[in-house]
Structure 1
Amino acid sequence: MNIFIIGSGWLALPLAEHLNNRAHQITVTTTSTEKSERVNKLGFKALVYQMGELFPDDMLDADVVVFANTCKDVSAYRSTVKNWPRTFKPQVIYTSTTSVYQDNGQDHDEESPSINPEHPTYLIEQTLKPLKANIIRLSGLVGPGFMRQDLIVNSRHPGRFFRKSLAVRNPKNQVNLVHRDDAIGVIISVIDSQLNKQIINASADNHPTKGEYYSYMAKQLDGTILDTTQETSTSGKTINNLKSKTIYTYQHSDVWQMSF
């Protein structure tokens, strides 16, 4: 298939690599000519594109379009949908976030009514509805960095979280994380299953408290001691991943056993 990935960052490039290894034709976008040249050296076709602009002609041949960037500009997405050609009907996937669910102490599945209605990512989800987009709500992303020639991206190791303050915010709330390998796995499973208009949570199985988990990971990484005595000001939440398991088997289901 011809797959167009809007984005070329920490999630998008490894996703492109996985899809390329499955013999798909991959195009990614960058926001600068300099980065597009570096990405081209990796063997990927890269186009300079800003959200909201008219589509490159090459995009209109795509069988799948994956929004895997960090843009939270709702107006840019509205322009994208407004400019979407009526005859262009690829499978669409948007990588959203479980931050759209309220911190109300509940376990949230995809039918949860407890949504933050003004969250920009939720507004983008609503904007993409006319495209029959699949919405993949990712918990906090963690995983290794990567180095490809002169393109270097740092790891997202939970032991490095809270390094500025050395204090864990809301230490009694639960952890909701997903490894990048599993985020990619869910995206690919949605593509393989040819789904449309689905909302899917991607999250590891277990949810220890933030104080317990992040202090342990920081100490294991390099001996850093975090303060876990601060008051917890919100009710927190947990993310239910059962729907995603109907199409995908997690590689890193246990947050304690993840590799970075």
Structure 2
Amino acid sequence: MNITNKNLAAYQYLIESIEQSPIQHVLFVSSSSVYQNINDWVTEDNKLEDENSILFQIENAFKASSGFKTSVIRFSGLIGPNRHPGRFFRGGKQVKQGDTPVNLIHLADCIGIINSIIEQDAWGQTFNGCADTHPIKRDFYPFASEQLGYPVPEFIEEESLHYKIVNNAKVKQVLNYRFIYPDLMQIPQEAYE
């Protein structure tokens, strides 16, 4: 299930409907944005989620249901076909927080992780979905822009940095998942087509 509406009441209604159905498992696609910016690594188990995040509250509502088992996948920023990161800052858009790491994942790995959870019956768990590497924006976005022949984006200098680095170790350990595109700086151009 992947619904972009962040209306908690609507999700509560959906949960009640699922509980009255024969559905036994739900795979909830969430976002690594539920983690606070702590300027360090975040994992599924270190309790660094933003308690005020509606998305985090929705995750918890699904996990609290006794009528079915829910696994949550917290994907980072999506890249892949029609989502080349070199296009993210074209047209003169400026990049903030240039010295902070990126948290991205290719669509092929999103699908691979989803399939692994289903095939391995890995229900009742939370997983992060993010590539292995986390280059800083100041290195990554010019590289991605140059791949497409676009001008390198400009960076806004900021004194205070706010970031998180999403750890993907659990998905590799529990699911034995091997990333198709683990290194963001090594993704071939055809992977974006």
Q: Provide TM-score, normalisation by structure 1.
A: 0.67
Q: Deviations over 1:193-217 (max 9, x none)?
A: 1121100011100111012101221
Q: Deviations over 1:160-214 (max 9, x none)?
A: 1123552111111101000000001000000001121100011100111012101
Q: Deviations over 1:81-110 (max 9, x none)?
A: 123344624221001000011111110111
Contact 2:34 2:53 in 1 (8 A): yes
Contact 2:99 2:136 in 1 (8 A): yes
Contact 1:91 1:194 in 2 (8 A): no
116-125 or 82-91: which moved more? Answer: 82-91
For residues 206 and 142 of structure 1, the distance between their equivalents in structure 2, rounded to whole angstroms, comes to 14
Matches within 5 A, 1:86-97: 86=20, 88-97=22-31
Which residue of the other structure, out of 74, 78, 86, is the alignment partner of 2:12? Answer: 78
Q: 1:78 to 1:87 in 2, by over 3 A?
A: closer
Tell which has more relative contact order, 1 or 2 (C-alpha 8 A, sep 6+).
2
Specify the alignment match of 1:132 in structure 2: 69
Matches within 5 A, 1:102-117: 102-117=36-51
Runs of 4+ that moved beyond 4 A: none
Structure 2: tracts of 5 or more residues without a match? none
Q: Deviations over 1:68-91 (max 9, x none)?
A: 232322221111112334462422
For residues 72 and 165 of structure 1, the distance between their equivalents in structure 2, rounded to whole angstroms, comes to 30
- Report percent identity of matched pairs: 33
Which residue of the other structure, out of 162, 181, 197, is the alignment partner of 2:124? Answer: 197
Which residue of the other structure, out of 188, 194, 205, is the alignment partner of 2:115? Answer: 188
For residues 45 and 100 of structure 2, the distance between their equivalents in structure 1, rounded to whole angstroms, comes to 22
Aligned length: 184
Specify the alignment match of 1:142 in structure 2: 79
For residues 81 and 202 of structure 1, the distance between their equivalents in structure 2, rounded to whole angstroms, comes to 24
For residues 230 and 216 of structure 1, the distance between their equivalents in structure 2, rounded to whole angstroms, comes to 19
Q: Secondary structure of the residue that 2:18 maps to in structure 1?
A: coil
Q: 1:86 to 1:229 in 2, by over 3 A?
A: closer
Q: Between Structure 1 and Structure 2, whose CA radius of gyration is higher?
A: 1
Q: Secondary structure of the residue that 1:136 maps to in structure 2?
A: strand
Structure 1: tracts of 5 or more residues without a match? 1-66, 145-154
For residues 223 and 89 of structure 1, the distance between their equivalents in structure 2, rounded to whole angstroms, comes to 47
Q: Secondary structure of the residue that 2:148 maps to in structure 1?
A: helix
- In the TM superposition, residue 229 of structure 1 has moved relative to its aligned partner by 4.2
